[in-house]
Amino acid sequence: MGKQGSPRSPRPMSQNSNNSSLFRMKDYHIIRSSSDSLGASGIDPSIGRRILGGENYWNSKLVLLHGLKDDSGKLITPCKGVYGGKRHTWFRRNVKSLAFLFLLMAFFFLLDSLMVSIFGSMNLHSSSTTTNSRDPEAKGEGLGYVHEERPTVQMYGRLLNLASSALAEKEFKQDSLNYWKEPYPQASKWKPCADRKTPTSLGKPEKSNGYIMVSANGGLNQQRVAICNAVAVASLLNATLVLPKFLYSNVWKDPSQFGDIYQEDYFMRILKDDIDIVKELPPHLKALDIEAIGSLITDSDIEKEAKPDDYVRSVLPILLQNRVVHFLGFGNRLGFDPLPPDLQKLRCKCNFHALKFVPKIQEVGSLLIKRIRKHYAAKRQLDKQLLGSFLPSISSKEHNAAKGPSKYLALHLRFEEDMVAYSLCDFGGGKHEKRELQAYREVHFPLLIERLKTSKPVSPAELRKLGRCPLTPEEAALVLGALGFKRETYIYLAGSHIYGGSSRMQPFTSLYPNLVTKETLLTPSELAPFRNFSSQLAALDFIACATSDVFAMTDSGSQLSSLVSGFRTYYGDGQAPTLRPNKKRLAAILSENSTIEWNVFEDRVRKMIEEGQRVRVRGSGRSIYRQPRCPECMCRSQ
342 plus 408 within the same structural domain: no
Residues 6 or more apart whose Cβ sits within 8 Å of residue 209: 237, 238, 239, 316, 319, 320, 323
Domain count for the chain, please give it: 2
* Cα angle for residues 38, 44, 48 (degrees, 5° grid): 115
| Statement: residue 83 has pLDDT above 50 | no
Does residue 9 lie within any of the structural domains? no
388 plus 511 within the same structural domain: yes
Segment 368-374 shows an average pLDDT of 89
378 plus 303 within the same structural domain: no
**Torsion sign across C-alpha atoms 194, 195, 201, 206:** positive
| Statement: residue 250 has pLDDT above 50 | yes
243 plus 377 within the same structural domain: no
Q: What pLDDT is stored for residue 394 in this prediction?
A: 61
Q: Do the beta carbons of residue 555 and residue 471 sit within 8 Å?
A: yes
Q: What pLDDT is stored for residue 172 in this prediction?
A: 79
387 plus 498 within the same structural domain: yes
Name the pTM for this structure: 0.77
Does residue 452 lie within any of the structural domains? no
Question: Is residue 253 very low, low, confident or very high in pLDDT (cuts 50, 70, 90)?
Answer: confident
262 plus 372 within the same structural domain: no
The neighbouring-strand residues paired with 475 are none
Q: What pLDDT is stored for residue 28 in this prediction?
A: 32
Query: Exposed e or buried b for every residue in 350-383, given b needs 16+ CB within 10 A?
Result: bbbbbbbbbeebbbbbbbbbbbbbbebbeebebb
In a 13 Å sphere around the CA of 96, the CA atoms on its Cβ side amount to 1
Question: Is residue 176 very low, low, confident or very high in pLDDT (cuts 50, 70, 90)?
Answer: low
d(CA 129, CA 122): 11
Q: Do the beta carbons of residue 315 and residue 237 sit within 8 Å?
A: yes
User: Dmax over Cα atoms in the chain, in whole Å?
Assistant: 120
491 plus 629 within the same structural domain: yes
d(CA 612, CA 579): 7
496 plus 524 within the same structural domain: yes
Of 98 and 488, which is predicted with more confidence? 488
Segment 284-301 shows an average pLDDT of 96
The neighbouring-strand residues paired with 491 are 409, 515
Does residue 151 lie within any of the structural domains? no
Of 431 and 82, which is predicted with more confidence? 431
Segment 296-318 shows an average pLDDT of 96
173 plus 278 within the same structural domain: no
523 plus 629 within the same structural domain: yes
Segment 488-501 shows an average pLDDT of 91
Q: What pLDDT is stored for residue 95 in this prediction?
A: 57
Percent helix, strand, coil in the chain (nearest 5)?
A: 50, 10, 45
314-369 residue pLDDT tens? 999 999 999 999 999 999 999 999 999 999 999 999 999 999 999 999 999 999 99
From the list 298, 300, 227, 250, the residue with the least C-alpha distance to 25 is: 250
From the list 394, 447, 444, the residue with the least C-alpha distance to 419 is: 444
The whole domain housing 506 covers: 157-182+359-392+404-415+470-636
Average predicted confidence (pLDDT) for the chain? 81
Question: Is residue 408 very low, low, confident or very high in pLDDT (cuts 50, 70, 90)?
Answer: very high
Q: What pLDDT is stored for residue 119 in this prediction?
A: 39
Q: What pLDDT is stored for residue 150 in this prediction?
A: 79
Segment 104-112 shows an average pLDDT of 56
| Statement: residue 108 has pLDDT above 60 | no
178 plus 218 within the same structural domain: no
Burial grade of 21 (CB within 10 A; 0-12, 13-18, 19 or more):
exposed
| Statement: residue 85 has pLDDT above 90 | no
d(CA 561, CA 538): 12
Q: What pLDDT is stored for residue 406 in this prediction?
A: 77
238 plus 309 within the same structural domain: yes
Distances (CA, A) of 564 to 227, 364, 473: 16, 18, 20
| Statement: residue 77 has pLDDT above 50 | no
